[in-house]
Structure 1
Amino acid sequence: MNLDDALREGMSMDGALGIAIVDYESGFTVAKQGGSSLLDLDVAGPALAEVVRAKLRAIETLQLDDDIEDILVTLGAHYHIIMPTEARGNGASFTAGQRQTLFLYLVLDRSRGNLALARRHLRGIERQVRS
């Protein structure tokens, strides 16, 4: 599956407002679907990349032997889900030392979307993107 097809599938979720693939080292938005003037996915990419880098530094500082499976930011009107595209074990995760630097970013309308279903659907898209 190519990136555009994967992102179109992400936009088919109930409540999906935008989805992107972002490089967390550079903040560059590799591909995107959806968004709006109020939800600029190109502007969000660098800011979210900093969130990922900060969390990885925290894990390293705390010497936690664990990975980030996803990051959820809950706002009044939206859910923002950040999910890595690299597999480790049975699922995807960020690891401080790994070289894969891409993540999926999904914005979901809280009143129309189902968070549990969106995370499950996004995990399926993640598997398609990395294969």
Structure 2
Amino acid sequence: MAGLDASLKEMMAIDGAIGAAVVDYNSGMALGFLGGDKDLDLQVAAAGNTEVVKAKLRTMDSLRLTDHIEDILITLGTQYHVIRPVSGRSGQGLFLYVALDRNRANLALARHRLKQIEERLEI
């Protein structure tokens, strides 16, 4: 099991990571974050990505899908943004968010690492 700070450090250790956050999607608030810069405000990203998660959950509900979201990928010209809802009981209502430099990141490996981090997260 890993705590919030350890999980954020692991997320930032993913090749190409430029910012990482653990977010409560009920409130839109980041419980913690690392990285970011003037072009990547992680507080704004947390709030905005909360709306993405909520919209997808509403859509799934409207479609009567009983499945779960593994991750949501947003591909930009120079970045990947990966959102992974936490499925464990201690993380209900949370998601992991990592922004990656597209030129330095391996998307498949990043998704795999994020899954491992999510499985060990203990809040």
Give the TM-score, by structure 2 length: 0.92
RMSD of the TM alignment (CA)?
1.6
Distance 1:70 1:130 in 2: 19
Unmatched 5+ stretches in structure 2: none
Distance 1:102 1:128 in 2: 14
Distance 1:53 1:78 in 2: 22
Give the TM-score, by structure 1 length: 0.87
Partner of 1:84: 85
Matched, 1:72 2:70: no
Unmatched 5+ stretches in structure 1: 89-98
Match for residue 117 of structure 2 among 107, 111, 125: 125
Q: For residues 71-103 of structure 1, what are the alpha-carbon distances to aligned partners after superposition, in whole Å with 9 as ceiling and x for unaligned?
A: 000000011000011249xxxxxxxxxx91000
- Structure of higher RCO (CA pairs closer than 8 Å, 6+ residues apart): 2
Contact 2:3 2:122 in 1 (8 A): no
Q: For residues 2-27 of structure 1, what are the alpha-carbon distances to aligned partners after superposition, in whole Å with 9 as ceiling and x for unaligned?
A: 21111111111110001100011110
The percent identity for this pair of structures is 52
Partner of 1:13: 14
Count of aligned positions: 121
